[in-house]
Amino acid sequence: MSLELVCPAGSLPALKTAVDCGADCVYVGFKDATNARNFSGLNFDDKTMADGIAYAHGRGAKVLLALNTYPRSDNWAHWTRAVDKAAERGVDAVILADPGLMRYAAREHPQLRLHLSVQGSATSYEAINFYHEHFGIQRAVLPRVLSLAQVEQVIARTPVEIELFGFGGLCVMVEGRCALSAYATGESPNCNGACSPGRHVRWEQTDAGLEARVNGILVDRFAQQERAGYPTLCKGRFEVGGETYYAIEEPTSLNTLELLPQIAEMGVAAIKIEGRQRSPAYVGQVTRVWRQAIDRVLRDAQTFRPEAVWQKELAKISEGQSQTLGAYHRPWK
């Protein structure tokens, strides 16, 4: 039994931190719209990508490149060039969502390992097997909408490796199907790579508190001592029926540490940590905890219990300082 730890790297320092703290794989993106974390100050140019790959490979870690947005007819060549660069630089796999791009990668670079992104929204073994049969997909990252019982059924009916999110921020939308940010800003996260793009975000200190707006839409208002998170529409507070609250989704982080023995037993190939937009310090904290936990499960799953100190560390860096098992835990299933 093996279980890879796949950690986020939005920068070269974050990549080095993840590798040094025990990540088996890091996932990265180019500094453009080909990846779904296309924020200013994040991601890799040609030099830092080469440096990051050399650093990871020199220490036995793999590099997975996210090319998980959807190209259009007018910019298709930019996405295919990104696939070409991935192959030239020797990444261990590319993470794709667009079937046309999968076809290009399979045809032009048959040696390149292909993973199906969570942005592909494949929630059934039929969908995953389709991508495997037509494009040679070898691993699929499942959206965070399935129970563990459903995950187990998928694993039993596909030859494709399954990667599961274990920790990090949640989105109310099924990945790859979000329209809220595009509705508000005219820029789709699925094509432009950023939810609530920075150029549309405005902060203003008012008598009522610190206000956050996305393209002029008031998303949240924070009191003086309140911790202010990055504004997204799904996690904003809105006035509904005279009451102001998190009307769509309350900020919280997925934390499946207590489910780790079950996840390993059912044959999940890899645990993925969300957070390429987070700091190297976040990456280090999460990677250290999950490295210890996975190693302990692999040694003896029967006696595994999450350490209190692990949960305390993860709670510090959870969204809203709140945690959930999400859709994975449905005891009635």
3-state secondary structure 204-247: EEECCEEEEEECCEEEEEECCCCCCCCCCHHHCCEEECCEEECC
Q: With contact defined as beta carbons under 8 Å apart, do 115 and 93 qualify?
A: yes
Q: What is the pLDDT of residue 127?
A: 98
Average pLDDT, the chain: 93
**Predicted pLDDT of residue 229:** 80
Average pLDDT estimate for 162-169: 94
* Residues in contact with 310: Cβ distance below 8 Å, sequence separation at least 6, in sequence order: 257, 289, 292, 293
Q: Are residues 157 and 295 in the same domain?
A: yes
Identify the H or E element spanning 26.
strand 25-28
Is residue 77 located within the same domain as residue 138?
yes
In terms of Cβ atoms closer than 10 Å to its own Cβ (0-12, 13-18, 19+), residue 40 is exposed
Residue 181's region, left for phi above 0, alpha for psi from -120 to 50, else beta, is alpha
Gap between the Cα atoms of 176 and 118, Å rounded = 7
Domain boundary among 245, 260, 287: 245
Amino acid at 192: N
The pLDDT of residue 320? 65
pLDDT of residue 322 exceeding 80: no
Indicate if 260 and 205 belong to the same structural domain. no
Q: How many domains does the chain have?
A: 2
Strand partners for 96: 67, 116
Domain that includes residue 208, residue range:
194-245
Residue ending a domain, among 214, 229, 245, is: 245
And the tokens for 75? 């910019």
For residue 20, name the pLDDT band (cuts at 50, 70, 90).
very high
More reliable by pLDDT, 107 or 328: 107
Instruction: Supply the CATH number for residue 59's domain.
Output: 3.20.20.70
Residue 279 has pLDDT above 60, yes or no: yes
| pLDDT category of residue 174 using cuts at 50, 70 and 90 | low
